Chains A and B, each alone.
Chain A
């Protein structure tokens, strides 16, 4: 049995029957755990589509083995917030209409959440650096940077974005 915390809830996976402990975390999150936020993009840590937070740090889940998260906390885009209780970043991304196809967004959102945890007032360069592991092909980069700044402002002011 492999136990960890997923989006705040305890999870126990039977490694004999549900998922072997060397399976990629991404495939386990999307398979037996039924999530859609983390997405496959390259399988080689080069695009950021599968980024999740492990103990608060952004980590590509495509190459991480399931066993590596035993006892740790994993957060995905689903865990940041929901339509009823959105994370300020999610509110800000909608306000800025920061996205087109949206494939990159759930990975970018978790990296941005980690950035704002560490730096509540990042400038443009700091945001771009933090998001450099993420590819976006639709050209939504500038809107995404604006949305992160908007969320940071809202979080500093304790108001909704």
Chain B
């Protein structure tokens, strides 16, 4: 669905023949698939299901390349140490990176099996046809099958660069909408999530959190025995209880909390002065140039716009809370987790335990929807720490809603200054922008210290590093999509990464794009107005990429943009971006119904070009999900905190859109060029949706939003700022 992952993009040439995606570093075919004599194929990718439907898409790819029925493919969740190490499932890259690898691996498996069959049967390999796993000679005679050769260990080989996956036109399963493989379990209430894992003898744990982000546990008073014989587990400032049942764990945590004495300090900025804090922290930050072209002495011209845009801290706000199960046996630990990166998590758990990674086994199991780096990795280390006190017994730890909203990493508050100008014909002359933000990645597995929440609370604590940004080659973090897609002769985009990190920040769907796309599109609308052009025409005249033109025209046509009539209190707006400037294209038209007291987004029209869509219905579902997520961020979302802690730790303190507030959404996929590569679908529509809603608010109310979320209060402030 989301987040950021930059393993593949950073690959250097290692002298070996280049293989697609993560196959390059995980070259053994048996890491990817196994063929069984009873007519089944198991596929074992390193990417994980986050709710985005990736397992179904990967099964389609495997079925197609092997020429077996989809029903024969079984997907196994990733686990160390046997699964391919595909780093993190993030960045809308899974179909490219994992799908590309699996496609090649399966094409190679087919080549090897057919080759062996050809040798044995005397029928030339190019004459053998594969039909649902059976190998047929030109006269229709069956000369072999995958299943008959299953015992021959043919996949204990390195993938060959010679394998030839099918061309798009030859595919029969990939490219077709098929029902998701995981959905039946989910509508029948079957056990599917890590939360449903029921190992014999499981104990239940709860963490007792400090009252502040900066706090030391100075004393723990004795008292009456805890309910149900629950035990206390403590390591430094990390405090938890362990009980036989969930209700005893809850009761014990409630009983223990008032016995803990914390030395707590203020360490968070004033929420009401977030803009001032960003400016102040930026003065001590790390400034760098993202992209520069043409002459940039400043933005010249009389038709000039200079604007500032702001975004609050945002929460993941998954509706299920984070969970992990851990079990120690003889100095080794096994952990079940909904982490996005099993190998990276293993590395950081081992660092936190100060042990070798081989002593940690990480098994993926699904969690509730994941939109980036949430608390999944954190809860896994916590379960491991608590389970140390119960050798041999599985320990299940589930976060509360308050922990989920209050302690998982947040997506950072951001500020963007944009200055741009057009000439008398309306052509863009110059563009400068500066993006200020904490880094957008605190993911595990990449620093010398473990990046997991509890690691900084241990009796021998680890330092917390300020979050980083992925390099621009991998899409960037804070400056993701800060470089406009529009033709502009002179440009300079800069960013400052804050090194103060009072609130731990990391990747959330879209990363910086949620703010940057809106800021660019808002300035484009203002420049269009200065030039007396329609927003659609103004964009089209600055676009060189025909695929961007196609989605923009398509969304405009879906919404009836050119024939629209102005209606009192109703506004239409449009937004466009190519995600990361290298991924999927999305254009969105939004319709809002707005008064000074209330803003409602009623409809969204979304046109997307996601390149190859392995499962078109799945891609449409992802684009719609991203649009609804964007509408929720646009209208409602803001993490709240005081000087000590995140305070909006229940749903009344962190609102997301409910059924009666969700806009109607129409999604259409625009056909990509033939044989186009997959571009990912999960994150592309979010930024353009926010931009479109902002523009629609301007059309309805005459005010340009300057600060997310677009609440009546923030719009009133923008109106006051705009007043002469």
Contacts and interface: CB of A to CB of B under 8 A. Distances in A.
Interface of A: 19-20, 23-24, 27, 30-31, 34-44, 46-47, 49, 76-78, 81-83, 86, 90, 93-94, 97, 99-106, 109, 125, 127-129, 131-132, 134-145
Given A36-B196, A97-B617, 5 more contacts: A20-B247, A36-B193, A37-B189, A41-B320, A83-B184
Contact of A100 (B52, B196, B652): B52
Contacts, number: 175
Contact of B192 (A49, A102, A134, A135): A102
A127 to B, nearest CB: 8
B125 interface: no
Given A42-B401, A83-B184, A141 B621 contact: no
Contact of B188 (A81, A104, A129, A131): A81
B318 interface: yes
A131 B401 contact: no
A31 B246 contact: yes
Contacts of B627: 139
B629 A137 contact: yes
Contacts of B186: 99, 102, 105-106
Contacts of B519: none
Given A27-B246, A132-B660, A40 B320 contact: yes
B319 interface: yes
B183 interface: yes
Contact of B368 (A37, A101, A142): A101
Contacts of A138: 1, 51, 369, 625
A44 B650 contact: yes
A82 B189 CA distance: 9
Residue from B186, B369, B398 whose CB has the most chain A CB atoms within 10 Å: B186
Contacts of A101: 50-51, 318, 320, 366-370
Interface in B359-399: 366-371, 398
B640 to A, nearest CB: 16
Interface residues of B, number: 60
Contacts of B625: 100, 138-140
B198 interface: yes
A136 B319 contact: yes
Chain B interface, >50% SS class? loop
Contact of B195 (A40, A82, A109): A40
A128 B659 contact: yes
Ordered nearest first, which 8 A-B pairs have the shortest CB separation?
Answer: A37-B189, A101-B51, A102-B186, A139-B628, A101-B369, A77-B189, A139-B625, A103-B368
B179 A76 contact: no
Prevailing SS type, chain A contact patch:
loop
Which residue, of B185, B195, B398, B659, has the highest number of chain A Cβ atoms within 10 A?
Answer: B659
B400 interface: yes
A100 B664 contact: no
B247 A24 contact: yes
Contact of B651 (A27, A46, A81, A104): A46
23 contacts: A36-B191, A36-B196, A40-B321, A44-B401, A81-B188, A86-B188, A99-B180, A102-B186, A102-B187, A102-B192, A103-B193, A103-B318, A109-B187, A125-B660, A128-B660, A131-B659, A132-B660, A135-B651, A139-B628, A140-B621, A141-B659, A142-B624, A142-B664
B575 interface: no
A46 B187 contact: no
Interface string B615-635: 001100110111111000000
A47 B183 contact: no
Nearest to A130: B659
A100 B621 contact: yes
Contacts of A19: 245, 247
Contacts of A100: 1, 51-53, 369, 621-622, 625
Interface string B32-50: 0000000000000000001
Contacts of B658: 132, 134-135
Contacts of A30: 246
A94 B184 contact: yes
B182 interface: yes
Given A23-B247, A137-B371, A138-B369, A46 B659 contact: no
B454 to A, nearest CB: 21
B317 interface: yes
A4 to B, nearest CB: 18
Nearest to A22: B247
Given A97-B183, A140-B625, A145-B659, A41 B188 contact: no
A102 B183 contact: yes
Taking each of B318, B369, B401, which has the highest tally of chain A beta carbons within 10 Å of its own beta carbon? B369
B656 interface: yes
Nearest to B318: A137
Contacts of A109: 187
B662 A142 contact: yes
B75 interface: no
A46 B655 CA distance: 11
Interface in B663-720: 664-665
Nearest to B177: A97
A43 B52 CA distance: 26
B190 interface: yes
B189 A36 contact: yes
